[in-house]
Amino acid sequence: MQQRRFGADGSVSAVGLGCMSFGGFYGAASEDESLRTLARALELGVDFWDTANVYGDGVSETVIGKFLAEDRGRRARVTLATKFAIRRTPDGKRGFDNSAAHMRESLDASLKRLGVDRVDLYYVHRVDRRIPIEDTVGELARLVEAGKIGAIGLSEVAPDTLRRAHAVHPIAAVQSEYSLWTRNPELGLLQACAETGALFVAFSPLGRGYFSGLLQDVEGFEDFFRHDNPRFQGLNWRRNRDRLEPWLALAKAWAVTPATLAVAWTLAKHPGLVAIPGTRTAGHLEDCAAAADFALDAARLAEIERVLPVGYAAGERYPDAHWAGIEKY
């Protein structure tokens, strides 16, 4: 598996594993299948695993913890990332809390579920606008000094926030959605990551499953996320679905799966980037991991962008309620 730089002297696999679906975000998840997927990840050299305390209210972390506990030698082979900040308000709504107390409480709970005494990367999942990012990063730096986290990450932030945070303590990674139909990071965030030395972590490189080519009828979605997502609704979906035919034809012509091609495009866009496709099945992970060995030359990249040009997607990438805590730029 191709490696990419992480931190001052480390590296992680170019294709990582997003573990949100272990918590049932895209429909019911089987613990046994999730465990098989983690085992296959190690076999493939996929060593960068990304989870969060809110994925299934701790289910994703618990599954990973169970897998690591089965063989204590596994922990050393994995770069483990998790997140904090999202919480439910007393009235049941989603809110954000970057306070030191919530940060430490969340970390202790995550470490317990994961069965480890340290995570390699701890993300601010969403920025709490009540608290300056400098204060949040200062508190995280104390956790680095205490040995409970190895590095600090940010999620869904603007370039200026990254620069301000980095001035307090080195930011090892910045996570944001990035794919052929979500190209906002090209408007400054990728550049800011290169400037600060932060690894850019591209989540949803398959467009929530869109680029796999397997989604045709979205009416029967079990999961709430795509059911409420504007890109999978009504006229937006019909327009987006119609763009899939030439995309699938490219993958067929080049003898790769559509999933492999989508992840390969993401990896080709920036040398300081890793992609973390989310899956709960070993077979799908194999398709995604194959992208690290499928090089795209300039001619093929141009052909892909002719078929799916910048800005082609119909609809916003999130419903209105999900934009809180995400910094637009």
Reply yes or no on whether 55 is catalytic. yes
Sign of CA dihedral 269, 275, 281, 287: positive
Catalytic site residue from 55, 122, 210, 318: 55
The two three-digit tokens of residue 248, written as one number: 């699938």
Q: How far is it, in rounded angstroms, from Cα 276 to Cα 299?
A: 25
Ramachandran sector of residue 266 (left: φ over 0; alpha: ψ -120 to 50; beta: rest): alpha
Backbone φ, ψ for residue 11 (5° rounding) = -155, 160
Q: How far is it, in rounded angstroms, from Cα 158 to Cα 154?
A: 10
Alpha helices in 156-202 (DSSP H): 159-168, 189-196
DSSP 12: E
Q: How far is it, in rounded angstroms, from Cα 301 to Cα 310?
A: 12
Instruction: Tell me whether residue 239 is exposed, middle or buried, using C-beta atoms within 10 angstroms of its C-beta: 0 to 12, 13 to 18, 19 or more.
Output: middle
Q: How far is it, in rounded angstroms, from Cα 262 to Cα 294?
A: 11
Instruction: Tell me whether residue 242 is exposed, middle or buried, using C-beta atoms within 10 angstroms of its C-beta: 0 to 12, 13 to 18, 19 or more.
Output: exposed
Catalytic positions: 55
